[in-house]
Amino acid sequence: MGLLNLAGLAYLLSIPVLIYIYHFSRKRKRVEISSIIPWKRLRESVVRSSLFRADILFYLQLALLSLLVLAACRPYWRHASGGTAGRHVVLVLDRSASMQTVEGRKSRFELARERALAQLRHLGSRDRVTLIAAGARPELLASGEQNRAKVEALIEQLRPADTPDRMAPALQSALGLLREGEKAKRRNPAGGAVPEESSEVSLSIFTDRSAESLGLGKLNDWGSIHVERVGAPKDNTALTSISVYKDLFSPRQEVSAYVTVDNFSEKSFSGSLSASAKGKRIASREIALPPGGSITTKIGEELPEGLLDIALDPPDALAVDNKGYALLPGNRTTKVALFTKDYRLAAQLRDLAKAIPHLELDIKSPGSYRVTDMAPYTVSIFHACEPKLEPPTSLLLICPPPQSRIVRVTGNCASGVRFLDWDEAHPVGENLRGLQNVPLGGSRIIEIPSWARPVAISATTGGDIPLVLCGECRGRKVTVMSFDISSMELTKSDSLPILLLLLNILKWLGEPEQNQIATGEAYSALVPEAANEKIPESGTKETGDGFTVINPIGQEERLSFREGEPLTVNATDYAGMYLVSEGFTQRAFVANLSSSAESDLREDRHGEDRVVAEEVVSMSLPASPPSDWSSMLLWCAALLLLLEWIVFSFTRPQRVAEEEERGE
């Protein structure tokens, strides 16, 4: 027995107030008498007793106040633990996409949920339950909970996600509790007192995978581990990849969508692949695959801007991987602002812009730069100069000034610098054959900032130096070319690799942000700083309103972020389109399952999603919170208040009559 809120004892001061009210509430009347001699003969105790007479209403009100004070103190009762502590049952439910597979009339997840509820209903009143949902990331829904009704409600509310299997992180946490329970058993011999926080622990896993595929086959000596496997092997055909390509600088800016279909079956597959936009079918083609076959095909010819729904027919046991989504960009013109004093470079880039469709170039002097004039532009280029206030656009620095604030310039290199290596995996480094043969007139020596990665480097006697840096800084894409291209003739064949490098940079800086991810992955979007606001010394500032995210099933989530940093959406558990809005600004992205391992229902998946025993760390949950009796006391107080009202109603006529007799 104990009190959770000792401050509630201060309400005991209300009891003297009640006595004070009773003492002075009795009505008195002045009466003239002939003598006070009879009153002098009365004993003082008799006189004092007549000043305050407690009746049944007083005692009822005193009891009511006492109950309210006790309820404010939140009393609790904890059972003695000497060898009688209940079990600690850990339940892990698999929420991955494959749990949506239909087995007869029910899905695998419905079968797993029924088994979890059945086990829950067989627990004792003192058993504790920890519930972990295993999806793209583990989610602790209940921790050492003794209220079975609450845990049942949590399990009933669960639904499977559209994400690949990620059981290992959830099992690591569950096994940590199990290991701590086994240690407690060894510390407490039979018959010894077992603390509640170290009671016997058992682990039940509800999934469509086997113990061996989870890495639990060799952990039998860890204690009570039970894998409740649901479902049987099944044939399945799935969309495993959707890719969208668009060339910003092609004349028509055509959009192409490519879809990969895999047949996870020992039988041949024959069906159709269709694409719809705005509720209308715009493309369709027949698909025929041999057992275990795969095909990547282009779907549609002239695809419209907006959301594209892709469907594979006929439907099978797992419906989520028969649908896919893509967001197709519309035609756009990349507007570039060039700030330079070099007329030769300006003339070369002007001629280049005229030859490239959908590219517009405005040439300005560095002194005419105004950050408020940069809203129409997609890319800003600064040659041998740098703005005091960075524009709300993607940024290209060519030969940054010695006092650059964006990158730290530590010196200059003499002429004769050449490209040593470049990153072909980065979009800026694609198709640059022969780049090593292009001589450079010289280069700045710059340090690599934390936000950037080197895409091209050179070698000097002092070590490697970066020639091209790419990254995201304060909510915008930034590329830094440490060398000067103003002395190069970009139209000559010898300079063709440099021309391709420049086009790659413009394309990377000008392309729209990524709008397609796999379910379960985090989505990041650049949110540029407001151009007219001063950034604090920390480099970031909190926003006031934040963004609202609406997922494909209509759920809303409010996100806060730091201005100048990427906006990150972690809750991407469902396939479909997500809307991200702030005021009148709105953007969208889509998520697809696109997981061969999750769609292959023929056998267990023995990938990297396995428990590693050496990585399991023992952990214990805090003791379950004691049972708070304050609510029960409040109910008792309500009943006592009702009783007081009844007594008052029955005794009122008698009190009125007595007062009339006394002449009060």
Mean pLDDT of the chain: 82
Q: How far apart are CA 491 and CA 348, in angstroms?
A: 8
Please determine, for residue 560, whether its predicted confidence score (pLDDT) is greater than 90: no
Cβ neighbours, 10 Å, residue 608: 8
Class at the top of the CATH hierarchy for domain 88-233+604-615? alpha beta
For 135-169, letters b (16+ CB in 10 Å) and e give: bbebeebbebbbebeebeebbeebbbbbbbbbbbb
**pLDDT in the model for residue 42:** 57
Tens of pLDDT along 203-212?
A: 899 999 888 8
Task: Indicate the DSSP class of residue 580.
Answer: E
Tens of pLDDT along 106-138?
A: 999 999 999 999 999 988 888 889 999 998 889
| Mean pLDDT in residue range 353-365 | 91
Please determine, for residue 659, whether its predicted confidence score (pLDDT) is greater than 90: no
Tens of pLDDT along 9-24?
A: 888 888 888 877 776 6
Higher pLDDT, 199 or 654: 654
Name the band, by pLDDT with cuts 50, 70 and 90, for residue 589. Answer: very high
Higher pLDDT, 29 or 60: 60
**pLDDT in the model for residue 538:** 39
Q: Which residues pair with 289 in a beta bridge?
A: 269
Q: How far apart are CA 234 and CA 187, in angstroms?
A: 47
| Mean pLDDT in residue range 322-337 | 90
Name the band, by pLDDT with cuts 50, 70 and 90, for residue 191. Answer: very low
| Mean pLDDT in residue range 221-228 | 76
Please determine, for residue 331, whether its predicted confidence score (pLDDT) is greater than 50: yes
**pLDDT in the model for residue 533:** 42
| Mean pLDDT in residue range 176-191 | 62
**pLDDT in the model for residue 562:** 67
Higher pLDDT, 457 or 542: 457
Higher pLDDT, 276 or 46: 276
Please determine, for residue 49, whether its predicted confidence score (pLDDT) is greater than 60: no
Segment (H or E) for 559: strand 556-559
| Mean pLDDT in residue range 365-387 | 92
- Phi–psi pair at 62, nearest 5 degrees: -65, -40
State how far the alpha carbon of 213 is from the alpha carbons of 95, 207, 416, 607, 609, in Å: 16, 11, 57, 8, 8
**pLDDT in the model for residue 546:** 74
Segment (H or E) for 295: strand 294-298
**pLDDT in the model for residue 202:** 86
Please determine, for residue 351, whether its predicted confidence score (pLDDT) is greater than 60: yes
Segment (H or E) for 444: strand 443-446
| Mean pLDDT in residue range 289-315 | 90
Q: How far apart are CA 227 and CA 437, in angstroms?
A: 62
Please determine, for residue 655, whether its predicted confidence score (pLDDT) is greater than 90: no
Question: What predicted TM-score, i.e. pTM, was given to this entire model?
Answer: 0.70
Please determine, for residue 252, whether its predicted confidence score (pLDDT) is greater than 90: no
Class at the top of the CATH hierarchy for domain 334-510? alpha beta
**pLDDT in the model for residue 539:** 39
Please determine, for residue 304, whether its predicted confidence score (pLDDT) is greater than 60: yes
Q: How far apart are CA 85 and CA 201, in angstroms?
A: 11
**Which range is least confidently modeled, 296-305, 313-322, 587-596?**
296-305
Higher pLDDT, 494 or 530: 494
**pLDDT in the model for residue 662:** 54
| Mean pLDDT in residue range 411-427 | 84
Higher pLDDT, 269 or 658: 269
Higher pLDDT, 661 or 298: 298
Q: How far apart are CA 579 and CA 423, in angstroms?
A: 34
Please determine, for residue 85, whether its predicted confidence score (pLDDT) is greater than 80: no
Per the listing, tokens 């749990």 go with 99
